[in-house]
Amino acid sequence: MSRIIRHLLLVALFGFAPLHAAELLNASYDVTREFYKELNPAFAQYWKDKTGESVTINQSHGGSTKQARSVVDGLDADVITMNRSADIDILAEKGKLIPANWQTRLPNNSVYSASPTVFLVRKGNPKQIKDWDDLVKPGVAVIIPNPKTSGNGKYSYLGAWGTVTQKGGDANKAKQFVNDLFKHVPVLDAGGRGATTTFAQRELGDVLLTFENEVFLIQQEFGQNKYEVVYPPLTVLAENPVALVDKVVDKKGTRKLAQAYLEFHFSPQGQAIAAKHYLRPQVSDAGQSNFKKLNTFTVKQAFGSWSEAENTHFNDGGIFDQIYQK
């Protein structure tokens, strides 16, 4: 049925015609801006071809934990696309906006991509940073976003802790190492993109800890000849889950559209776009040959669960507060 005929039928049957394209709001974390600049138009075209309907995807970006709290506090996001499950759990536990079993509603526990924490150093690697231990050498300044507000920062913190315990060190040794590390952090930005600005534009620090996809974007924007990527022998793997915000989509009548949008992340086209933006696809082999093979651990493997890690390390009065307030 052509668009014109459908338009006329709507007018005849209901006395009106739709005036605006359907809209979705995606609340996402800081360093997915470029990815969604390509994924969103691709989905809009897919949806147009499939249904004949136009759709506009709006984006809200910030530190992941801060974004999750914004949704709980009233940001009308139809979907939330984060870099850790705990930030989406907040919507179930504190906002009652989604069911507790939200991860079961999409493939691979709703994780469409992943990205390891790596090091970005200045050209020539003047401080000879090759592993986590090198971050605490005298004279090394490390740029990490705030673990209280940024999932990126949480992964960097847990990566530092986990590399100690995964090699057989105990909690006391891990705490001492993380304590030493944050003595080398001159500023805590609220999110990963803010930390990138501090390192690349303000030229503060010798090394930036961030996700693999972000370091390639930095090299593209600021020049391949200015930085080098260092892959530590062992690092933490960030898993990127997505979810519907049930109470919002039901209020706005966008559930079907929002569900299709999230499913598109897991489609061959969505996975290929993820790989293009240096996000490691988790349900296809798209672009896998372009990624360096790494020895990684997940938060679940090293800490039991995100809930345990959050309660122990990042809640008010937790280990991070004890370390950073010294």
pLDDT at residue 326, rounded to an integer: 56
Q: Could you tell me the CA-to-CA distances from 300 to 93, 168, 309, 312 in Å, in that order?
A: 19, 17, 9, 14
Could you read off the pLDDT of 195-254 as tens digits, one per residue? 999 999 999 999 999 999 999 889 888 888 899 999 999 999 999 999 999 999 999 999
118 - beta bridge partners?
210
pLDDT at residue 84, rounded to an integer: 93
Range 270-274 average pLDDT: 97
The CATH code belonging to domain 114-237+295-324 is 3.40.190.10
Q: Could you state, in order of their start, the residue ranges of all structural domains in the chain?
A: 3-113+239-290, 114-237+295-324
Q: Is the pLDDT of residue 3 over 50?
A: no
Q: Residue 32, Cβ neighbours under 10 Å: how many? A: 27
pLDDT at residue 21, rounded to an integer: 80
The CATH code belonging to domain 3-113+239-290 is 3.40.190.10
CB 192 within 8 A of CB 154: no
Structure tokens at 225: 């000849």
Could you read off the pLDDT of 17-31 as tens digits, one per residue? 444 689 999 999 988
Domains 3-113+239-290 and 114-237+295-324 in one fold: yes
Those residues with Cβ within 8 angstroms of residue 88's Cβ, 6 or more apart along the chain or in another chain: 68, 80, 82, 98, 102, 241, 243
d(CA 229, CA 238): 17
Could you read off the pLDDT of 66-96 as tens digits, one per residue? 999 999 999 999 999 999 999 999 999 999 9
Could you read off the pLDDT of 152-208 as tens digits, one per residue? 999 999 999 999 999 999 999 999 999 999 999 999 999 989 999 999 999 999 999
65 - beta bridge partners?
none
